[in-house]
Structure 1
Amino acid sequence: MSVHIAFETPQDVQEQVYEMVKSLGKDGRGRLKKGANEVTKAAERGTAQMIVMAENVNPGELLAHIPMICKEKSIPF
């Protein structure tokens, strides 16, 4: 388990989140931010409403700072 993962996500939740992210990516409004840098900027600016991180990031340290920012800004992750 990577450093940014607090618990294992159930399969049904993974599928629901995947469908939500897929639909947001197709809406054409540019609301979906991808990559550690864009996500970090959105979280620090307070524009992020929710952050979804992959469980299989290697090395996990790439995302280790994001949960701390999310907790500080009260953003669900």
Structure 2
Amino acid sequence: MAKDKTPTKAKAEKAAKTADADDDKEAVSYETRVLSVSPIAHPLATKKLTKKLLKTVKKAAKSKNVKRGVKEVVKGLRKGSKGVVVIAGDISPIDVITHVPVLCEEADIPYIYVPSKEDLGLAGSTKRPTSVIMVVKKDAAEYKELYDEILGDVKELNQKLITTV
């Protein structure tokens, strides 16, 4: 007996619906996550820049060129490591990370906020939400092009922030 192909069609339709739902979820989630961001989280990355940042963090984490967590990032900043600092904007209490932007400005290192600590943790290859990650600049070909792109965008947003203040 020949098998009926309707279960395969049903699986394909279900997969398509799931993909559409994921796209809708992703579109809604950025806007809803921005609502939970602290008022001091400036400059906040746009949706497109957030995707680029998280992609860069993910590639840098694979090549072990990230510093995760407040302690490790502060230690790197004090020792003179160069890179881009990505800070989660939905940290509570916010006092935990308020000194990080000051240290970044003193060390002339660009920083930017993203809406979600959960997304930042996932991108950094950890199971736990992460409050801050530093993508260290090294000669890694895997993420160099992405790193240069986000570095320019983050510096531009930091300059806009400085000129408006």
The alignment's TM-score, normalised by the length of structure 1, stands at 0.87
54-63 or 33-42: bigger deviation: 54-63
Residue 62 of structure 1 corresponds to which residue in structure 2?
Answer: 96
Letter in 1 for 2:82: A
Sequence identity of aligned pairs in percent? 25
Residue 42 of structure 1 corresponds to which residue in structure 2?
Answer: 76
Figure out how many residues of one structure are paired with residues of the other and give that number: 75
Higher helix fraction (1 or 2):
2
Q: Distance in 1 between matches of 2:95 and 2:39?
A: 7
Q: CA deviation at 1:44?
A: 1.0
In the TM superposition, structure 1's runs of 4+ consecutive aligned residues that sit over 2 Å from their partners are: 1-4
Q: Distance in 1 between matches of 2:90 and 2:83?
A: 22
Q: CA deviation at 1:7?
A: 3.4
Give the number of the structure whose alpha-carbon radius of gyration is greater.
2
Aligned-partner SS, 2:83: coil
Aligned-partner SS, 2:90: coil
Q: CA deviation at 1:20?
A: 0.1
Q: Distance in 1 between matches of 2:44 and 2:109?
A: 19
Residue 24 of structure 1 corresponds to which residue in structure 2?
Answer: 60
Q: Distance in 2 between matches of 1:7 and 1:51?
A: 12
Q: Distance in 1 between matches of 2:40 and 2:82?
A: 18
Q: Distance in 2 between matches of 1:15 and 1:66?
A: 22
Residue 7 of structure 1 corresponds to which residue in structure 2?
Answer: 43
Q: Which blocks of at least 5 consecutive residues in structure 1 are unaligned?
A: none
Higher strand fraction (1 or 2):
2
The alignment's TM-score, normalised by the length of structure 2, stands at 0.43
Letter in 1 for 2:79: R
Greater relative contact order structure (CA < 8 Å, 6+ sep): 1
Q: CA deviation at 1:49?
A: 1.4
